[in-house]
Structure 1
Amino acid sequence: MGQARAQLLASLAAFYLILAVSHVAGNMADNIDIMWGSSKWVTDSTGQQAIAMTLDRYTSSAIRSKNAYRFSRVDMDIKLVPGNSAGTVTTLYMITEGQWQTHDEIDLEFLGNSSGQPYTLHTNMYARGKGGREKQYRLWFDPTQDYHTYTIIWNRDWTLILVDNKLLRQIKNKLMYGVPYPFYQPMRMYATIWNADDWATQGGRVKTDWSQAPFTAYFRNYRATSCTSYQSSSICGEGSTSPRGWLNQELDETRKQQLREVDSKYKIYDYCTDRKRFKNGFPAECMAE
């Protein structure tokens, strides 16, 4: 009886591992729905399938994943709008689909720029309807010349944001201290391009130049993996060298060094250091963030 039970558990583990891994590969059209706008399937210069998402004066564009996940790793290759993209925002985010007052969300927002200026990557998290956890970074490359890989890893212990496998941000689960964390609800991946010239570029001082429209960003090679306990650490972990993979709450030294480098060289805003905003003390989650 014990041997049969062990074989059954092993079979179930293998089944769930295969099921989760199947979300990673395959035809992108099998995993993505085009929602609105003039988004269309294209073949890029390398022969790969991609989605061209456009913004003009009349409509934005949006896509979403067919599946929702509770804890996951999401990767997407993106090539951003070139030239004068001031006022535009291109996004990759995960969000729940229940009531807005209690929604969870993990945001990557690429804020447009005037020609020759670097893109700003704006990151944020909402949990149980509470947001306001903004951090911003200057990208260290031109994201309009080629595709780069943007990653969200979300599990029970922390959320990680990576660019080309370089760690930008870690958000720890501090529910035990009364800090909301996206723990209870599944989320779906969305990507959009839209006009936000009231705030996106230099606080709204630079407006969208509609003579440059349509603005087009390209998305390809979408991978989404559900981070279940049946999976090996190399799939949803912060690094294959981690002894406990995605279950390990602590980062290895390589990841810690990446965070230090990003903070010192590329981070341009951190809500946890904004004394004008928090005159009476920083939020609880900023302690040992």
Structure 2
Amino acid sequence: MAIIGRRQQQGVAAAAATLVALMAVVVAAAAEAQPSPGVYPSRMFRAREFGRDFRSLWGAEHQQQEAAAPETGVTVWLDRRSGSGFKSRRAYRSGYFGAWVRLQRGYTAGVITAFYLSNGEAHPGWHDEVDMEFLGTTPGKPYTLQTNVFSLGSGDPPRSLGREIKFHLWFDPTADFHHYAILWTSDHIIFLVDDVPIRRYGRRSAGGAAGFPARPMWVYGSIWDASSWATEDGRYRADYSYQPFVARFSAFLLRGCSPHAPRTCAAPVAGDLTAAQLAAMRWAQRFHMVYNYCYDPKRDHSLTPECRTHLHPSSSSSNSSSSSYHG
């Protein structure tokens, strides 16, 4: 009887182990399977001509329009001499702004490729900014996509109050082009990856105008050396034996309201998310968010009112992936 009992226990243990393994496979599959957002703004608009809508801001010798699509694409690169940046010729007070981007594989530590909105030149030391930054990495580790929002100089020294939320993407961003976009309305800022909303930042939750960009901004792209902080808090720096570091942008989408447009002018895509979009955002935040400033115990959350509704006594992890977070 004792032998039979032991065999039964071993069988139960084996079955339990198999069940746990199967559950792990199911969870992993759920994490990798991108849900359909149901709405695809990247397909709604015609791509803009790079030369018509953008100009070189710095490092012009480190830019080249794509030979296959000179009207829509540009390649920028970083080497020992310089990086590169470009800027839209027009400012916008709201809109939908997107681009297809392909990043460099291999050793890219310390290097940042960015697609963002800003008015830093118009308001130096007191500017607004909305960022999508790809933080370089070392072989075998994924890129980190950092989203951030600054308002009324919150990103300018000595304040430097960031609202960073970071993600590891569910695909290899070096294998092909993927679409990254910012939707900026009077009430919300929504970050999207391949049309999946990954973050929503609301004007009301941010404490109104004080925490929400409302002044006209331009659209920028750049590649630059941020070795002091970009990769694992500066542990790994740019190694120029791997130069040039290259980023490719293609098929820019710029649809928005100019600063002098009538008040009736609105962003071409609604800021309200559908049930499918909300479900897709919860998936992205649950399985792919790796850092959320609202859950960082080192941060002073009295300065970020949008965090108050999401913090609770058990929220002690700085990389919590709360699926209810919309900040």
CA shift at 1:192, angstroms? 0.6
- Whether 1:180 aligns to 2:180 is no
Using a 3 Å threshold, how does the CA distance of structure 1 residues 55 and 262 change in structure 2: closer, same or farther? same
Residue 284 in structure 1 maps to residue 305 in structure 2: yes
Q: Greater CA radius of gyration, 1 or 2?
A: 2
Alignment check: 8 A CA contact 2:228 2:234 kept: yes
Amino acid at match of 2:53: N
Comparing 190-199 and 99-108, the one that deviates more: 99-108
2:130 counterpart residue number: 106
4+ long deviations beyond 4 Å:
23-26, 46-49, 175-179, 227-232
Aligned to 1:222: 252
Structure 1 residue 121 and structure 2 residue 145: aligned? yes
Q: Distance in 2 between matches of 1:151 and 1:201?
A: 23
Taking the aligned partners of 1:282 and 1:176, their CA distance within structure 2 comes to: 10
Could you tell me which runs of 5 or more consecutive residues in structure 1 were left unpaired when the two chains were aligned. Answer: 1-22, 238-244
**Does the 8 A contact of 1:53 with 1:192 survive in 2?**
yes
Q: Which residue of 2 aligns with 1:18?
A: none
Q: How far does residue 251 in structure 1 lie from its aligned partner after superposition?
A: 2.3
Structure 2 residue identity aligned to 1:152: I
Would the alpha carbon gap of residues 256 and 282 (structure 1) be closer, same or farther in structure 2, given more than 3 Å must change? Answer: farther
Amino acid at match of 1:161: F
Distance apart, 1:35 and its partner CA = 2.2
More strand by share: 1
CA distance in 2, matches of 1:82, 1:275: 33
Query: In 2 relative to 1, CA 69–281 (structure 1 residues): closer, same or farther, beyond 3 Å?
Result: closer
SS in 2 for 1:69: coil
Aligned pair partner of 1:33 in 55, 71, 84:
55
Q: CA deviation at 1:179?
A: 4.2
Partners in 2 of 1:214 and 1:147 — Cα distance?
19
- What corresponds to 2:95 in structure 1? 72
Give the direction of change, closer, same or farther, for the CA distance of 1:125–1:215 in structure 2 (3 Å limit).
same
Change (3 A) 1:47 1:40: closer
Contact 1:272 1:282 in 2 (8 A): no
1:256 positional shift: 1.3
SS state at 1:153 partner: strand
Native 8 Å contact 1:153 1:236 kept in 2: no
Check conservation: 2:97, 2:253, Cα contact below 8 A: yes
Structure 2 distance, partners of 1:74, 1:178, is: 21
- Choose from 263, 268, 292 the match for 1:236: 268
Q: Kindly tell me the number of residue pairs found equivalent between the two proteins.
A: 252
Report the Cα distance in structure 2 between the residues aligned to 1:123 and 1:187, rounded to whole angstroms: 17
Task: Note if contact 1:43-1:49 (Cα within 8 Å) is conserved in structure 2.
Answer: no
Identity across matched positions, percent: 33
Q: Supply the RMSD in Å over aligned alpha carbons.
A: 2.3
Report SS of the residue matched to 2:133: strand
Q: Which amino acid aligns with 2:66?
A: V
Q: Is the 8 A contact 2:58 2:86 kept in 1?
A: yes
Cα contact 2:48–2:72 (8 A) shared by 1: no
Q: Does structure 1 conserve the Cα–Cα contact (< 8 Å) formed by 2:48 and 2:71? A: no
In structure 1, which of residues 191, 197, 216 is the aligned counterpart of residue 227 of structure 2? 197
SS at match of 1:201: coil
Amino acid at match of 1:99: H
Distance 1:91 1:54 in 2: 12
The separation in 2 between residues aligned to 1:178 and 1:186, in whole angstroms, is 13
Per the TM alignment, residue 214 of structure 1 is displaced from its structure 2 partner at its CA by 0.7
Secondary structure in 2 matching 1:116: coil
1:88 to 101, 107, 111: 111
> Structure 1 residue 169: deviation in Å?
0.5
**2:198 is the alignment partner of 1:168:** yes
Q: CA deviation at 1:98?
A: 2.1
For normalisation by structure 2, the TM-score amounts to 0.72
